Amino acid sequence: MKTVKKSRRNFLKYSALLGSLPFLATNLKAAPLDGIKRLVLIQHPDGIIPEKWYPTKNGDGSFTLPEMTSPFEIVKDECVFMKGINMVDIAGHGAYQALYRGDKNRDSIDQYFAEKFRGNTDIPILVQKTSGGYGGRDLSYDARGRSIPSTLDVDTLRDKIYTDSSITADTSASVERESKRLASIKKDLDLMMQGGFVNDDILATHQKAVDDVLSALNNLDTSSTPVNMADWKASFDARVSTGNSFDDIAYAHEDIILNALKFDRCRVFNYSFGADVWDYNMPCDDGNSYPYHNSGHAMNNGAVQTRKQTSKHVAQLIEKLKTTNDLDGNPLLDSTLVVYSCEIGHAANHSGKDVPFIMAGAGLEGGRFLEYNNENWNAVLVSIARIMGENISSFGSFGSYSGNGLDGLV
């Protein structure tokens, strides 16, 4: 028996992976991607300092990232940074509710694609925040304009995704795909045993269970065969407390996204760093804590450091998507569009001008800084839809935008 004590952050990092093991018992619904993209929308509230956020162009055609976006240096070649996009006919904190739907009456673009993809994966969409509140405002809305509450608790998120009692293989294609899932899980188990993050005897038990199920799947000769894993599931509980720090909670949320994508459990995500941070002092990498919202009003170093903190999380998630393969052995980022945004441009005056958007992943050539001239943000939503395969010319009504999306983006 070998037990190695690790830091809380490392334990939390691997707890999301451990939490993915029970989902192997789910009824198969995932279909091959066949060119379908995955969509991850990420948002932070309360604005930016434009000169500390937007890149500076150099004489040789390259660009330099200022402090707020400096964490993106590790994935700079994967990202497109955009400036000159305006929220039209709406501004300030009220723009939060319209950010992903282009007005205040229709569905948000995440729910739009969740319905398009419904039936292809077990979970149509995952809507989550690191914290709630902000007057009950949400980012995700259905076709009738009703808000979709975000899930905050990490254990609840795991329970929503990773629970059931048997594998049912309905077709030979689904058997092959489930075998890929199990083989990928087995590799993760092997790596975890080498790292000694938890009791190896427990992992060895689950490794044997995976081998048994793989053997059963490989020897199937009927079109529909259930493989009961209830006994295996009953012996394993991977849930842990997430602690209280922003970093711990954010890393746990992001690892859930990564694993849900890796094992093709869900293809659409709406993820916010929270919007009740008015009085929250965020611990930052410079060793200090700053009031998130009020630092924005002051436009001081606290605003720089707190927004830099959220940029770090997004950049690291993009890096993980780049270095993590899907079930078919391809980098997740190759088929995943990541959109990072905020509903306010200038944090102090709550302007809807120059609201920040950064995109990375599927359908994009990275390493670019695009400057627009007061472009309607509905054009961003149209661009997202077109990258995702929808040939539309409008999404939302504010500003009456109609067109092919942002020029030069794709």
Both 39 and 145 in one domain: the answer is yes
Does 183 map to a domain? yes
Does 254 map to a domain? no
What is the torsion angle, in degrees rounded to the nearest 10, for the CA atoms of residue 299, residue 301, residue 304 and residue 310? -120
pLDDT at residue 200 in the model: 66
* Domain-terminating residue out of 178, 210, 244: 244
Does 259 map to a domain? no
Both 22 and 116 in one domain: the answer is no
Of residues 143 and 227, more confidently modeled:
143
Collapsing DSSP to helix, strand or coil, 395 comes out as: coil
Does 257 map to a domain? no
Of residues 18 and 42, more confidently modeled:
42
In whole numbers, what is the pLDDT of the chain averaged over residues? Answer: 78
Does 97 map to a domain? yes
155 band by pLDDT with thresholds 50, 70 and 90? confident
95 band by pLDDT with thresholds 50, 70 and 90? confident
Instruction: Flag whether pLDDT at 329 surpasses 70.
Output: yes
Structural domains counted in the chain: 2
Q: What is the CATH number of the domain that holds 112?
A: 3.40.720
What is the torsion angle, in degrees rounded to the nearest 10, for the CA atoms of residue 13, residue 35, residue 383 and residue 396? -90
Both 206 and 327 in one domain: the answer is no
Domain holding 134, by residue range, is: 32-153+265-410
Phi, psi of 309 (to 5 degrees): -65, -45
pLDDT at residue 265 in the model: 82
Both 53 and 194 in one domain: the answer is no
pLDDT at residue 328 in the model: 83
* Domain-terminating residue out of 214, 244, 274: 244
Both 26 and 39 in one domain: the answer is no
Both 344 and 288 in one domain: the answer is yes
Both 196 and 120 in one domain: the answer is no
Does 195 map to a domain? yes
Unique residue bearing structure tokens 């929308």? 41
Lowest model confidence (mean pLDDT) among 98-112, 153-167, 187-201, 321-335: 153-167
366 band by pLDDT with thresholds 50, 70 and 90? very high
Tokens linked to 369? 């800084």
Q: Above pLDDT 70, what percent of the chain?
A: 72
**Interval 294-317: pLDDT, tens:** 888 889 999 999 999 999 999 999
